[in-house]
Amino acid sequence: MRLNLIAAISILSTLASGLGLPGLAPRSLVIHPETCVMNKEGFLGTSFPDPPCGVSRGNGKDTVTALLCFVVPPCNGQCTISFTDALTATGSRRLQLFTLDRCPTTGGDTWGSKPFRDKHIGTFLVSIPGPAAVVEDFGLTFPCPKTVTKYGFELQPVWDNDSVTWDNSKGGLIITCD
């Protein structure tokens, strides 16, 4: 009887810890970007690696965008992109999210030589503190990858006189694997 109880506890412990699914990330894994590179419109050949990361625009000029690279481990289920815990937010506090054709590299991607911006997949309204509200969703949820996969994204301000900053290791754009 005692052996059966120990075996049952061991099996339940293994299932609860996710070890019963080798090679897969645990449920509700939060993934932060590996890289955040800020590009400034007035500095065509210079990149500005984080911290902090941010986007801004003032009076229709001097746009600053953030290029982000995520390395997502194998996961089951759906992955969701969200934005949370900005440090500062002024103006409309709105951010547009685009996919990139590849992940950006620190020091190599500038305003004049950044990855190709592909699809607009969402818009966020930033709150301090807490999660941003989703204003537009054109693909913020997608099937999680079955192998390690890199994703490149660009965040940019929506209107004039906007500024949003975040600590890339604690907040900003995240991917959640459920």
- Answer whether residue 43 is part of any domain: yes
Burial 29-49 (b: 16+ CB within 10 A, else e): bebbbebbbbbbeeeeeebbe
- Answer whether residue 95 is part of any domain: yes
CB-hemisphere CA count at 13 Å for 169?
3
Indicate the number of domains in the chain.
1
Q: Provide the token pair at 108.
A: 């190599």
pTM: 0.81
DSSP code, position 91 = T
Task: Tell me the pLDDT of the chain (178 aa) as tens digits.
Answer: 444 444 443 433 433 444 444 444 445 799 999 999 999 888 888 878 767 899 999 887 889 999 999 999 999 899 999 999 999 999 999 999 999 999 998 777 888 888 899 999 999 999 988 999 999 999 999 999 999 999 999 999 998 889 999 998 899 999 999 8
- Answer whether residue 57 is part of any domain: yes
CATH code, domain with 130: 2.60.120
Domain that holds residue 35: 23-177
